[in-house]
């Protein structure tokens, strides 16, 4: 296991100590490890959203759009999106 030493402002040190005292982490190191893990997940999610936005922008620029004018259009779009989601989840479950 690697070691990282950091100096924190007093108010952040107090936050960590309070959370450990409340039992949300067994010690300061565990609290910081969990905080870093969660922050890394947050950054990955941001990257994924940015990628989705970029792909959507490219689709719109290329004219790949769908017009939703009726409840039937909305239902068809929903069903199509759900089918793509199910296929993606199945691929992920197979380990891609």
Question: Mind listing the pLDDT tens digit for each residue in 16-50?
Answer: 999 999 999 999 999 999 999 999 999 999 999 99
Task: Report the residue count for the chain.
Answer: 96
Q: Looking at the structure, do residues 23 and 34 belong to the same domain, yes or no?
A: yes
The whole-number average pLDDT for the span 70-84 is 96
82/54 same-domain check? no
- Domain hosting 47: range is 8-65
pTM strictly above 0.85: no
User: Do residue 14 and residue 46 come from a single domain?
Assistant: yes
Give CA–CA dist 34/81, Å, rounded: 34
Q: Is residue 91 part of a domain?
A: yes
Contact between 31 and 25 (Cβ < 8 Å): yes
> Do residues 81 and 94 both lie within one domain?
yes
Q: What are phi and psi of 37, to 5 degrees?
A: -60, -45
Measured CA to CA, the distance from residue 40 to residue 43 in angstroms comes to 5
Are 16 and 32 in contact by the 8 Å Cβ rule? The answer is yes
Counting the structural domains of the chain, the total is: 2
**Structure token pair of residue 37:** 């893990």
């Amino acid at each position: 296991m690697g070691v990282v030493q950091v100096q924190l402002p007093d108010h952040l040190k107090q936050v960590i100590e309070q959370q450990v005292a409340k039992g949300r982490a067994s010690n300061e190191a565990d609290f910081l490890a969990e905080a870093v893990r969660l922050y890394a997940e947050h950054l990955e999610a941001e990257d994924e959203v940015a990628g989705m936005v970029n792909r959507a922008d490219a689709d719109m620029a290329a004219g790949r759009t769908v017009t939703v004018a009726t409840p039937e259009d909305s239902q068809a779009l929903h069903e199509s999106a759900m089918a793509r989601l199910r296929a993606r989840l199945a691929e992920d479950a197979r380990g891609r």
